[in-house]
Structure 1
């Protein structure tokens, strides 16, 4: 009984850590731009977010750490990738976005008497206070903050389903799946999966569970609870967006769309409810990710950098960066995520099926090929036409890196000779 209760509490906490700024504003937007075909975009979004989360937690829990996953492509390559991911997860992108979204959706619709600088100081001051003791983070979120968040979200979604705002626009389905994938990447949930998994397992240990296999099993069950919650909430929010597809187009900002939907459903009281939802969604994410990022850099520096000092630095830097605003942070994030997400997905999937991939060179050359195509995708998106990448298989689904990854893996398997193998051959020859 206690075990099940602990799994549910950690699952709720995990849901809140993942359900932050992007998770709230992206589903209504893909629903609005998809209209009657909102399920197509929704499927892409869920695969790129929940699917990757569950695969990554499974891989990391079994491998022991995220470095044991990405490091298979080379120690320096894996460490560089992980550091970049954690910086994006932390002070550069995700954590600042939580404060920016809270300001734009919780504060501005209600009052203009407080500016973003003052708000960000208050937001990250509270984050600092609630993050400074890492062993308490999951309980604070899971027991107290998540239930409030879920109740508020449930009320908004049920109202939107029972009393739709408008008709669903008949939209062409071309490109909607890829759009959903792209928006799913933008949530950036999978970036810090190594630190999140470590935090989950550490939380179970602090509750007295010492068997590592049991901890891994409990972590995976908690992840399933969080994943199920995310899918249900995403579906509800995407449908709400679809109900206003005849009223707005893609020129409306994502935050403004969510405010307008809530206002149409519940009026002024709805704006207050939205403020509560956003505040708790973003605060729980900020607390969880600040803890995860600080713990990661403390560990990677062999405790030369202190957890409390890192928490303070992350809060101060994020406080400054959050004043860029949501749209600018999203614009900065897009090319970075396009580069690092595919190679991360590749290494996670290969790690899960590692019994089929024995040679390190297979991981390396698959990763290098994926990274190369991802960089070309970004260059192409900036207006430098690189036509051949559009002719690669699965390009329409956003997976044009898959064939190059397979080719890279085959080169690593059949052409590249491992150093150890060469040394053995030399000894035999001698």
Structure 2
């Protein structure tokens, strides 16, 4: 029995390492440092708000995938309609894959660390070579799904954590001073918790959770074929361990960012700030050390994105094998990272704004209202209302429409009078209203169709 318990615990730790490696990319590394610098002495409030949404939403998304008994996101969304399930899945995977997130896994580490090591005349060539090696390495791992757990969970992620631990140890040995001595900036001065909450919400990690969650599910099924209840337990434990690790790392990075103001000015972004801090502790070798650390963080995320996209698109296009689709996805990420990334990002932002409220809706319903998925009328009404609201909120983010004289007052009124709209959660009111209206109409329909017994 003891051996069985130890074996299960070991497998859960490996799953947690895999999940952490898939999630934790460049943004997760540099974003908290920026928040810490802007929070100053209000670091406790902003940290709590940020962690609540950044870790909480992502962990819940993975748990919903594990509980769903589905093999893919499209499969999980079937109660919402076959066409909607496919359209939403394609939009999500294209956006977090080759259209947006995948190219950035290479461009961000290059821009914030590697670029400074290159002569200015060779910046473009340097990006080409770095991204080619980066996506080549990610593809070599992703092309054999059975080996992903080994490479991500047992090799690259532990190396990343070791590099990060060295940085944290240097900070503890030679602290930067008290965070209470530094002043907060902007909205962090008056509403640090809400600003941190909003920043965590805007990481949009829940989108990756709906994709990576099924990578974890498949890994559990392949390597540990057991009952559904055992699978759910493994996924929940992996989410908790991974989430706990993220909370510790976020807390350290937030604290480092806040206390760094004692020795450094506020940087324009977290990447620059983190590069300066690595240089502060490790001297001229600091930038190389930082470049290796952030590359390790990003390549595991790239592997997860290539795997998720290739697995899904090869399933809906049977004539294309998983291996060939992985090559296509990795090649697309490589090309976009070198040509026209900014334009692609601008096109992707409206799509992100559209699907993000819908993604969180699926997490909330899957977690708290799963029994309603069998009630077609409730789901259809809630989904219809949410699609309209998501389109409306997307329109608010488009400068061409936001500045229109006719629409601008409507958008302003929405932000002012709809609860939570100012922090990007106005849609939550309409989701709850849709559930209530749908449930009410469902009950009326049930009473009308009930046979009379006389």
Correspondence for 2:43: 38
Q: How many residues align?
A: 425
Q: CA deviation at 1:61?
A: 1.2
- Please state how far the C-alpha of 1:145 moved relative to its aligned partner: 0.9
Could you tell me how far apart the structure 1 residues matched to 2:356 and 2:442 are?
A: 26
* Larger CA deviation: 281-290 vs 198-207: 198-207
Per-residue CA shift, 1:72-124, capped at 9, x if unaligned?
33332232222111111211111111111221234213223552122211211
Q: Distance in 1 between matches of 2:130 and 2:76?
A: 39
Matched, 1:259 2:270: no
User: Does structure 1 retain, via aligned residues, the 8 Å contact 2:40–2:259?
Assistant: yes
**Residue pair 1:40, 1:173 contacting (<8 A) in 2 also:** no
1:59 equivalenced with 2:64 (yes/no): yes
Contact 1:175-1:396 at 8 Å conserved across structures = no
TM-score (norm 1): 0.88
The 5 A counterparts of 1:355-374 are 357=372, 359-374=375-390
Q: Could you tell me how far 1:356 is from its partner in structure 2?
A: 5.8
Match of 2:231 among 197, 215, 233: 215
Instruction: Evaluate the alpha carbon distance shift between residue 74 and residue 205 of structure 1 in structure 2; reply closer, same or farther with a 3 A threshold.
Output: closer
| Cα distance change, pair 163–49 in 1 and its aligned pair in 2 (3 A) | same
Give the superposition deviation at 1:179: 4.0
1:242 paired with 2:296, answer no
Question: Which of 104, 108, 116 is 2:127 aligned to?
Answer: 116
Matched, 1:153 2:160: no
> Could you say what the CA RMSD is over the residues aligned between the two structures, in angstroms?
3.0
CA distance in 1, matches of 2:47, 2:353: 19
Q: CA deviation at 1:16?
A: 0.8
Counterpart for residue 84 of structure 2: 77
Give the superposition deviation at 1:137: 0.5
| Contact in 1 for aligned 2:92/2:207 (Cα 8 Å) | yes
Report the secondary structure of 1:210's partner residue.
Answer: coil
Structure 1 range deviating more: 40-49 or 10-19: 40-49
CA contact (8 A) 2:19 2:242 kept: yes
1:131 aligns with 2:145: no
Displacement, 1:257? 2.4
Alpha-carbon distance between aligned partners in 2 of 1:372 and 1:67, rounded to the nearest angstrom: 21
CA distance, structure 2, for counterparts of residue 265 and residue 164 of structure 1: 10
Aligned to 2:28: 23
1:292 aligns to 2:308 (yes or no): yes
2:292 equivalent in structure 1: 276
Mapped contact 2:50–2:197 kept (Cα < 8 A): yes
| Kept after mapping to 2: 8 A contact 1:161/1:240 | no
CA distance in 1, matches of 2:388, 2:132: 40
Distance (whole Å) between structure 2 residues aligned to residue 6 and residue 157 of structure 1: 27
Aligned to 1:305: 320
Go from structure 1 to structure 2 and tell me whether the alpha carbon gap of 1:93 and 1:341 turns closer, same or farther (over 3 Å shift): same
Counterpart-to-counterpart distance in 2, 1:30 and 1:310: 38
How far apart are 1:162 and its partner, in Å?
Answer: 4.6
1:169 aligns with 2:174: no
What's the CA shift string for 1:204-255, capped at 9, x where partnerless?
33334333322221122112111111111111112222224475457x1342
Alpha-carbon shift at residue 360 of structure 1 (Å): 2.6
Q: Alignment partner of 1:218: what SS?
A: helix
Question: Residue 328 of structure 1: CA displacement?
Answer: 7.0
Contact 1:33 1:245 in 2 (8 A): no
The 2-side partners of 1:338 and 1:35 are apart by 30
Instruction: Indicate how the Cα distance of structure 1 residues 173 and 79 shifts in structure 2: closer, same or farther if over 3 A, else same.
Output: farther
Encode CA deviations 1:15-63: one digit per residue, 9 max, x unaligned.
1110012111211112222222233333333233321122112211111
8 A Cα contact 1:98 1:283, kept in partner: yes
Determine the C-alpha separation between the residues in 1 that align with 2:421 and 2:172.
34
Mark the CA change 1:125 to 1:219 in structure 2 (over 3 Å): closer, same or farther. same
Q: Which residue is 2:440 aligned to?
A: 414
Return 5+ residue gaps in structure 2 as ranges: 1-5
Q: Is 1:342 paired with 2:357?
A: yes
Cα shift at 1:4? 1.6
User: TM-score, normalising length from structure 2?
Assistant: 0.84
Unaligned runs of 5+ in 1: none
